Amino acid sequence: MIDSKPRTLAGALLLGLCALGATSASAAPKYIFYFIGDGMASPQIHATEAYLGALQQDDAEPGGTKSVALHMSQFPVQGMQTSYANDRLITGSAAAGTALACGLKTNIGVIAMDPSATRPYTTLAELAKRKGMKVGIISSVSLDHATPAVFYAHESSRNNYEQIDQALLASDVDYFGGGGLRVNKWKSAQYADLSNAERYTLVREWARARGFQYADDRATFDTLAPGLRTIAINPYLDGSNAIPYALNRKAGNYPGGPYEGSISLAEFTAKGIAVLDNPQGFFMMIEGGKIDWAAHANDARAAIEETLAFDDAIRVAADFGARYPDETLIVVTGDHECGGMTLGFAGTAYDTYFEVLAGQQLAYDDFDDRVFEAYLAQFDTAPPNIDATLWELVSTYFGLDGAKLTETLDDDLSDYELGLLEAAYDKAAHNHSDNVAEADTLLYGGYNPFSVTLTHLLNRRAGIAWTSYSHTAVPVPVLATGAEAWRFGGYYDNTEVARRIAAAMRVELDQ
């Protein structure tokens, strides 16, 4: 068509429009923010909004504030995506992330490659670099976890942490921020005798040799220089090298506290803007990784606090976008739902009491490790039943009362609830090795029976229920604002999210 002369005026106009389209490459948004809430779909978003509403006015009262919209929910364009993997309806983070990063389906566990794991897929981050943009990858879990990895690595398995870490260091990504690396998963014999601290020393040396500035404490993080390639790791990491749960950090980030100086996802995002800003613009992927983990554990309050921390990071991008509205595109989505979370429980029927979730002071993992294990450690043989000391802890950390310690009836456990909790305590405290029976799998999902029962009881009282300890296949919202946001309306597949971002960026993903 370009070689042939237009035969009509309409043809000439069409050619002129095509030429306009070609020159509009310069109009691609300069700043792209791609937020992925792992395990976040409508239930996780709306449970958070209903919780905020219940805090403003007790939702047991009719006519109270029922919902407070998050920043992401106020974005003007809304879409919905299907999340299935190439080989399974219910996806996993690697396959879903590959679709979101590359616009192509793959099998469960594969990182940015085809289902046979022979052909690498080109990622949006790689295309952004080719275009001259800078790239940032941020996650609240480890930086080599499936969702961040699909943007810079190509591996047959998400569990190839050693290879993914090498790909991270060899990549031309300009900024990594958030959790650490799963150095404890390295398998080569040469690292066998090294402690995790010694492995991190190696990472730091390799990073500096590759031209990265490296921060893993608050003081260094606060003084990172703009414009330099950067790896920034939270000073506190959990057993999976992720940033500790936002709920735990909220409880422990004070002078002398267990998480003093911890760095939030919002701060990592703000630092990304400072480090990456340049005349060619940037592409930044920010993962809220532990919404998923909290949902796996059926801990609603922890999932809500992770969603709030994720939304805080979105607010940082939205504030930046407000300064450059014609040059900034912000896209928010999830990779899949997790936990089969829903708003409504058989025991509470049409009623909700989300304010009771405020009684929970720690996420399940810190309750397990810092409270319950410390309690059990004082005994050679744990008491046969929940004793007065443990009831005090349950009341303090979950606002539930099975021993009539308090005078409020709404924190008193019913006989049925008491039975469930005593049975769970027995499993947890007396190390029953039969915690593999079908009933136990359904009741506790492999988590500490005591704490998972506490979150179940508290969640049900709020009117929240769970169907699974795994992901589910419900469609996932896509929320967009800024330049080219119009592209994200409609109902489509998760591969389309990446393809629409590529179209906005004027780059071509693989077919």
Binding residues (CB under 5 A) for Zn ion: these are 38, 93, 292, 335
Smallest gap from residue 472 Cβ to Zn ion (A): 11
Least separation in angstroms between residue 272's CB and Zn ion is: 21
> Do the annotations mark residue 144 as ligand-binding?
no
Rounded Cα gap, residues 333 and 322, in angstroms = 20
Query: In whole angstroms, how close is the CB of 314 to Zn ion at the nearest point?
Result: 18
Does the annotation list 147 as a binding residue? yes
Ranked by CB distance to Zn ion, the top (closest) residue is: 93
Nearer to Zn ion, 245 or 367 (CB): 245
Question: By C-beta, is 15 or 473 nearer to Zn ion?
Answer: 473
Contact (Cβ atoms closer than 8 angstroms) between residue 493 and residue 82: yes
Query: E-assigned strands of 113-255?
Result: 134-139, 175-178, 213-215, 230-233
**287: phi then psi, degrees, rounded to nearest 5:** -105, 130
- Angle of helix 449-462 relative to helix 415-429, nearest 10 degrees? 160
Q: Residue 300 contacts by C-beta under 8 Å, 6 or more apart in sequence? A: 47, 294, 341, 357, 455, 458, 459, 462, 464
Closest approach, Cβ 329 to Zn ion, in A, equals: 23
Query: 71 among the known binding-site residues?
Result: no
Q: Of 335 and 417, which CB lies nearer to Zn ion in the complex structure?
A: 335
Beta bridge partners of 338: 471
Q: How far is the CB of 95 from Zn ion (least distance, A)?
A: 9
Between 147 and 253, CB nearer to Zn ion: 147
Catalytic annotation, pick one of 93, 139, 142, 262: 93
171 catalytic? Reply is no
Residue whose CB is less far from Zn ion, 307 or 328: 307
Within 112-172, residue ranges assigned H as helices are 124-130, 146-149, 161-170
Tell me whether residue 307 is annotated as binding: no
If phi > 0 it is left, if psi is from -120 to 50 it is alpha, else beta; for residue 241 that is left
Determine if residue 46 is labeled as part of a ligand binding site. Answer: no
38 is in an annotated binding site: yes
Q: How far apart are CA 51 and CA 54, in angstroms?
A: 5
Say if strands 337-338 and 471-472 run parallel, antiparallel, or are unpaired.
Answer: antiparallel
Does the annotation flag 368 for ligand binding?
no
Provide the CA 386 distance to its chain's centre, in angstroms: 35
How many angstroms separate the CA atoms of 155 and 119, rounded?
10
Q: Which is nearer to Zn ion, 48 or 93 (CB)?
A: 93
Q: How far is the CB of 181 from Zn ion (least distance, A)?
A: 19
**Beta strand 328-334 pairing with 337-338:** unpaired
Which residues does the annotation mark as catalytic? 93
